[in-house]
Structure 1
Amino acid sequence: MSNCQQTLPKAIFLMGPTASGKTELAIRLSEQHNCEIISVDSALIYKGFDIGSAKPTQEEQARAPHALIDILDPSIAYSAADFRRDALALMDDITKRGKTPLLVGGTMMYFKALLDGLSPLPKADPNIRQEIEEQADKHGWQWIHQQLEEVDSEAAKRIHPNDPQRLSRALEVYRISGKSMTQLTQTVDNDLPFDIVQFAIYPPERSQLHERIELRYKQMLDLGFEQEVRKLHQREDLHVDMPSIRCVGYRQMWDYIEGNIDYDEMVYRGIVATRQLAKRQMTWLRGWDKLNTLQTPMGDNAEKTLASNMKVILDSLN
């Protein structure tokens, strides 16, 4: 490591699948070490998304405040680029105050955007997006795919004709900027002036994680998750195609409230969708470089495991 790298301030990434025990470990670190928590979660950013997102309770946030929680109305989109901008500003402020940034969550795309940087892609243009959707309704998505192939053959090779979201975005980027997504992604802003120590926490067995997910989902229902989503459903400006409502659990409850599925099916789909999310998160982590693994505290040895995890993290900062 160069002298320049040695002088970089430390920052901690604490990643892991949903229901793996990230929050309690982060709070303990904040209480017992000079850390400040930055949430890395695409659901926790939304106001009113409390129960279904497993947002830290008021008591937990009183113990250890979390930045980037409750920052947006659910009608507003928030991108990985938005997160990177906000996280870097917070990390700089925390470091200037002599503390260590502790980034905690399971939105792996946000972590990757912070670590590897992002291409300078233009922001979405609702008018152009609507124009593309109207053309798709008239001609079909295969026609849209052909339009993309004419301006960005590399992207057309990567994106399947039955993937409307990515097709629309790739063509939108070209129509906004006059440059293909392939061209723009060759330029990446990856300046990250921190020495990052990375950790992932999860149970030793997948079945244990599945059990924790099912238990937590049912606890959310007992805490009033349905009432939380019914309140959101009453708003005329929210609908099922918004990123906020597509969050795992919320989409399934929304379908139940609209009468598309019955209660038991909602519970089943909610648990399955959460397990699928955890599987995707684990897939990200299996390919992650420079990753230290921790074990989820469970059973009679929970406190001992928690203390061991904390020691491993704190030792890495020395």
Structure 2
Amino acid sequence: MSVATSVMGGSVAAGLGNVLKGAVLIAGPTASGKSARALDLARSMDGVIVNADSMQVYSVLSLLTARPGPRELAAAPHRLYGHVPPGAAYSTGAWLRDVEALIDSGALRNRQAIFVGGTGLYFRALVEGLSPMPDIPPAVRRRWRQRLEAEGAAALHAVLQELDTQAAARIRPGDGQRIVRALEVLEASGKPIGHWQAMRSRPLVDSASAEKLVLEPDRGALAKRIDQRFEQMVAQGALEEVKALLSLDLPRSMPAMKAIGVRELAAALGGDISLEEAARRAKAATRQYAKRQMTWFRHQLGADWKRVPA
């Protein structure tokens, strides 16, 4: 099936036992034009756009995460954008539960479901299912995140090495979020995270009937788009967004605090660097992130994903 045949044949996503048939999935690096492509499809296919980007879920960071603006939101239904407070712990599992609730609500019934974003793990969970994970008591989660903040990722990786050598071998010493996740799962359940990861839940999207696209922009053109977009973000009020986020006094370990541009603009607001230097660093960080995204998509998404120049 192709997007063209979906339009011509009038096929729309329909939930069958909570499994969507005929969904369109659009993955790609930041600033590759994913949102615009999804909006064009939504207009032509009577579609509903569902966010598949782990940063665009947060409520405060609209500009810095390049969420669709008022005009885009008015042009087609958008779901799962900006619905999570930045102080909340959010995960791939939480996103998948939100997608399931969206399907159960009937919001996608007789409409073309279009998932778009840059978070590869979201797409993988959508078509392959996700390993079930135990509930983590808030006190356990808070304690490990506080230790991450106080001691750093390397110190907690050493703790993980003692408690779960297999997980420690798979996780980079600098990857604080994954280290904390492994430690809190172990404490909460008494079983290593690998035990849970070996199990899979049922996918929410039927992979065989889905149209799966990966946008692959020219790197030089993408770098220019990234630079221009960040300048627009600053001009439109990104500094005010960062001020609002900082006013919440969240731990630096929270995912929302790690959005590209937050640390850089916070340093400019604090007088540590100039706004020009903050922009230069944020642009460089965004280009590096886009490169990591493209590498992940190239190696982790299979041959059934169509590569599309962008």
Q: Same fold (TM over 0.5)?
A: yes
C-alpha change, 1:139 and 1:28, in structure 2 (3 Å) is: closer
- TM-score (norm. length: structure 1): 0.80
- TM-score (norm. length: structure 2): 0.82
Q: Distance in 2 between matches of 1:207 and 1:32?
A: 30
C-alpha change, 1:257 and 1:104, in structure 2 (3 Å) is: same
Matched, 1:17 2:29: yes
Q: Distance in 2 between matches of 1:91 and 1:124?
A: 25
Preserved contact between residue 202 and residue 209 of structure 1 (Cα < 8 Å) = no
Secondary structure (helix, strand or coil) at the match of 1:52 reads coil
Matched, 1:181 2:181: no
C-alpha change, 1:144 and 1:72, in structure 2 (3 Å) is: closer
* Equivalences for residues 104-253 of structure 1 within 5 A: 104-129=116-141, 131-132=143-144, 144-145=156-157, 147-161=159-173, 163-194=175-206, 195-203=209-217, 205-233=218-246, 235-253=247-265
Cα deviation, residue 100, structure 1: 1.8
Q: Deviations over 1:5-54 (max 9, x none)?
A: xx972101011111111122111111111321111122222223221121
- Give the match for residue 292 of structure 1: 306
Preserved contact between residue 9 and residue 95 of structure 1 (Cα < 8 Å) = no
Secondary structure (helix, strand or coil) at the match of 2:264 reads helix
C-alpha change, 1:39 and 1:163, in structure 2 (3 Å) is: closer
Q: Deviations over 1:279-306 (max 9, x none)?
A: 121012112111112232xxxxxxxxxx
C-alpha change, 1:199 and 1:140, in structure 2 (3 Å) is: closer
Secondary structure (helix, strand or coil) at the match of 1:89 reads helix
Matched, 1:62 2:74: yes
Identity between Structure 1 and Structure 2 (%): 36
Range with greater deviation from structure 2 (270-279 or 248-257): 248-257
CA RMSD of aligned residues (A): 2.9
Q: Distance in 2 between matches of 1:138 and 1:61?
A: 40
Cα deviation, residue 84, structure 1: 0.8
Q: Distance in 2 between matches of 1:44 and 1:137?
A: 24
Letter in 2 for 1:291: W
Cα deviation, residue 131, structure 1: 4.6
Count of paired positions = 290
C-alpha change, 1:180 and 1:31, in structure 2 (3 Å) is: same
Preserved contact between residue 77 and residue 244 of structure 1 (Cα < 8 Å) = no
Q: Distance in 2 between matches of 1:141 and 1:50?
A: 28
C-alpha change, 1:190 and 1:208, in structure 2 (3 Å) is: same
Preserved contact between residue 91 and residue 101 of structure 1 (Cα < 8 Å) = no
Cα deviation, residue 162, structure 1: 5.0
Cα deviation, residue 210, structure 1: 0.4
C-alpha change, 1:70 and 1:294, in structure 2 (3 Å) is: same
Preserved contact between residue 213 and residue 308 of structure 2 (Cα < 8 Å) = yes
Cα deviation, residue 236, structure 1: 3.8
Q: Distance in 1 between matches of 2:275 and 2:128?
A: 42
Preserved contact between residue 62 and residue 82 of structure 2 (Cα < 8 Å) = no
Preserved contact between residue 22 and residue 201 of structure 1 (Cα < 8 Å) = yes
Instruction: List alignment gaps of at least 5 residues for structure 1.
Output: 297-318
Cα deviation, residue 161, structure 1: 4.6
- Give the match for residue 61 of structure 2: 49
Preserved contact between residue 38 and residue 104 of structure 1 (Cα < 8 Å) = yes
Cα deviation, residue 89, structure 1: 3.1
Secondary structure (helix, strand or coil) at the match of 2:121 reads helix
Cα deviation, residue 147, structure 1: 4.6
Q: Which has the larger radius of gyration?
A: 1
Instruction: List alignment gaps of at least 5 residues for structure 2.
Output: 1-15
Preserved contact between residue 10 and residue 196 of structure 1 (Cα < 8 Å) = yes
Preserved contact between residue 214 and residue 306 of structure 2 (Cα < 8 Å) = yes
Q: Distance in 1 between matches of 2:153 and 2:287?
A: 30
Cα deviation, residue 229, structure 1: 1.7
C-alpha change, 1:206 and 1:136, in structure 2 (3 Å) is: closer
